[in-house]
Structure 1
Amino acid sequence: MGYVQASDGVKLFYEEAGSGTPIVFVHEFGGDHRSWEPQMRFFARRYRCITFAARGYPPSDVPEDLDSYSQARATADIADVVTGLGLGKAHIVGLSMGGFATVHFGLDHADKALSLLVAGAGYGAEKQHEAYFKGVSENVAKNFLEQGSKKFAETYALGASRVQFQNKDPRGWREFADQLGQHSEIGAANTMRGVQARRPSLYDLEGRLRQMPVPTLVVSGDEDDHCLQPALYMKRVIPACGLLILPKTGHTINLEEPAAFNAALAEFLAMVEAGKWLPRDPRADPGQVMRTD
């Protein structure tokens, strides 16, 4: 464990385990660097695994200036971790907020990306829900500041796409909620306001996504409603993209269904490293139902 200094001077805490080709895990808003423990333990057998705490999440620095938080800055922080640890190129795996940053990493730093796994990415991306999402984001930020993380975590952890985790694995969910309750109130509020509420819609990135060459796997739970359409959209516009939908599953995919998540990621990495995860065959025309000539 240690710290990497981001290009704007913010210190980012990281942990690593294993050796080999590097994988960088990028956590969601409700999690932190600890949220990838099932993946760190599994993939460290064959890979050099790195998980880091985003700015605003102790032990990383918690800047008090809102302007220190943005989608661009979250993306640059991944690049700073890759560069600071001398990784050269890495597989990038992100969930939710980390999934959005992973997409942007593929757009802005394709030369540093071996592959992208984008899980649970979609909140706020749907055009019809943009205003609603921004309003909810502001309410979440205020609740963290006014109630404190420990108290508000009990509400936030019972969201419509979190209860699946609680029902399947109450001990795992309890650990997730307890860790959320340890987050910095200022860091959570600034992250919600600066990164979540201000990030561009995935649909506004279509032109760039159609040109992105990085092998990509998009993963969503089928009960994570506001990620389903964005997941299908990314499948359709990113050239070398696969889509996995896990049944009866919510938002906290890697913790809720660790065995299925790990198996899918392992197969994806093997295909990428074998040079077999390619752009869609042009003969697979989505406009064709059946071939007649």
Structure 2
Amino acid sequence: MPKSFTVLMLSAAVALAGQTSPVFAQQTSTVEVNGVTLTYVDEGEGTPVVFVPAAIADHRVWEPYREAIAREHRIIAYTQRYFGTEPWPDDGEQFSSETHAADLADLLRALDVGPAYLVTWSYSGQVATQVALEHPELVRGMVHYEPHIPSLVAELPEDTQAAIGEESKKYGPAMEALEASDAELATRRFIEAVFQRSPGGFEQEPEYMRSIWRDNARTVSLQVAITLPIIICDDLATLEQPTLILKGEHSDLFYGSIADTMVRCQPQAEVRMIPGVNHDGPVHAVEAFTAAILGFLTEH
């Protein structure tokens, strides 16, 4: 996979949560899956809706959605292996979307909530799609915000691929920081790049989110090193689950193109645009994203 596409995967890293700090859930639980312990929040009753976090983040990024979803459904937001603040079970050698997909499938079984709806953002869109392809019986439907499935770029016209390659140059400063073994600075630069912020824009984000990013900065080098399994249009054509794909009005060509490709390939998928945002939509358009999720759940 071209390095530029690998770098773009780190756009999954950013998870803002508005300008005021939400009140975090006081009660978390743990579950054993595939030999490791995962932390999760579980609230509400009814249809299970599992929120899968983006990269360089953990279950806390979904906190702004918890109360609204829990009024009508059962929301489960969990932290993927290697993320969060707990010690790693190893040196990171198992870090991969295959590991994260296997963990998600086992979590659904362990909590006895399959088939469940999955809500994703960026990198977690790859993880959830792998689960839907490998274990369709566990997935009732999906809501993706700008899923990060870079293998689909290979199916785009050559001029579009070239433009995406040019677009990825904005991640250069982040890669330089990573090569200098400065994970926290790399995280800052990735955040500024993917959210189209000016240099120093990281410091303008809410302190509690900056804390979450710092907590998860240790995963950046692992994230860059992995190669994602290839998912092509023919694979998506086999998915029967209803799927809503959301994209921001001002999002990068990379994400907009992947969203459009998924809708073209996946028979039960539809796409909608959220105005005024880019890849930061799940944060800066919380009400719109929440309404889209609830509307989808009502329809399906």
User: What TM-score range do you get, normalising by the shorter chain?
Assistant: 0.7 to 0.9
Note the C-alpha offset of 1:148.
3.7
Aligned-pair identity in percent equals: 23
SS, match of residue 137 in structure 2: helix
SS, match of residue 244 in structure 1: strand
| Structure 1 residue aligned with 2:124 | 98
Note the C-alpha offset of 1:98.
0.9
| Structure 2 residue aligned with 1:158 | 192
SS, match of residue 15 in structure 1: strand
Output the aligned Cα RMSD.
3.1
Note the C-alpha offset of 1:176.
2.7
Structure number with the bigger relative contact order (C-alpha 8 A, sep ≥ 6) is: 2
Note the C-alpha offset of 1:102.
1.5
Paired residues of 1:56 and 1:191 also in contact (CA < 8 A):
no
Structure 1's unaligned 5+ residue stretches are: 273-293
Distance 1:115 1:60, change over 3 A: farther
Note the C-alpha offset of 1:58.
2.3
| Structure 2 residue aligned with 1:200 | 229
| Structure 1 residue aligned with 2:23 | none
| Structure 1 residue aligned with 2:70 | 44
| Structure 1 residue aligned with 2:264 | 236
Residues 18-57 of structure 1 mapped to structure 2, 5 A cutoff:
18-57=44-83
**Separation in structure 2 between the aligned mates of residue 112 and residue 31 of structure 1, nearest angstrom:** 24
**Separation in structure 1 between the aligned mates of residue 272 and residue 69 of structure 2, nearest angstrom:** 20
Distance 1:71 1:141, change over 3 A: farther
Letter aligned with residue 251 of structure 1? H
After superposition, what is the alpha-carbon deviation per residue over 1:179-223, rounded to whole angstroms, capped at 9, x for unaligned? 2012251x33223323xxx11344xx2212111111101111122
**Separation in structure 2 between the aligned mates of residue 17 and residue 145 of structure 1, nearest angstrom:** 42
TM-score by length of structure 2 reads: 0.77
Note the C-alpha offset of 1:141.
9.7
Asked if 1:147 is matched to 2:182, the reply is: yes
Letter aligned with residue 96 of structure 1? S
Distance 1:171 1:131, change over 3 A: closer
Residues 119-130 of structure 1 mapped to structure 2, 5 A cutoff:
119-122=145-148, 124-125=150-151, 126-127=153-154, 128=161
Paired residues of 1:219 and 1:246 also in contact (CA < 8 A):
yes
| Structure 2 residue aligned with 1:278 | none
Residues 1-293 of structure 1 mapped to structure 2, 5 A cutoff:
1-7=28-34, 9-122=35-148, 124-125=150-151, 126-127=153-154, 128=161, 140=175, 143=178, 146-149=181-184, 151-163=185-197, 173-185=206-218, 187-194=219-226, 198-202=227-231, 205-225=232-252, 226-272=254-300
**Separation in structure 1 between the aligned mates of residue 191 and residue 263 of structure 2, nearest angstrom:** 29
Note the C-alpha offset of 1:174.
4.6
| Structure 1 residue aligned with 2:13 | none
Note the C-alpha offset of 1:96.
0.5
Distance 1:270 1:75, change over 3 A: same
**Separation in structure 2 between the aligned mates of residue 188 and residue 56 of structure 1, nearest angstrom:** 11
Note the C-alpha offset of 1:160.
4.0
**Separation in structure 2 between the aligned mates of residue 161 and residue 171 of structure 1, nearest angstrom:** 12
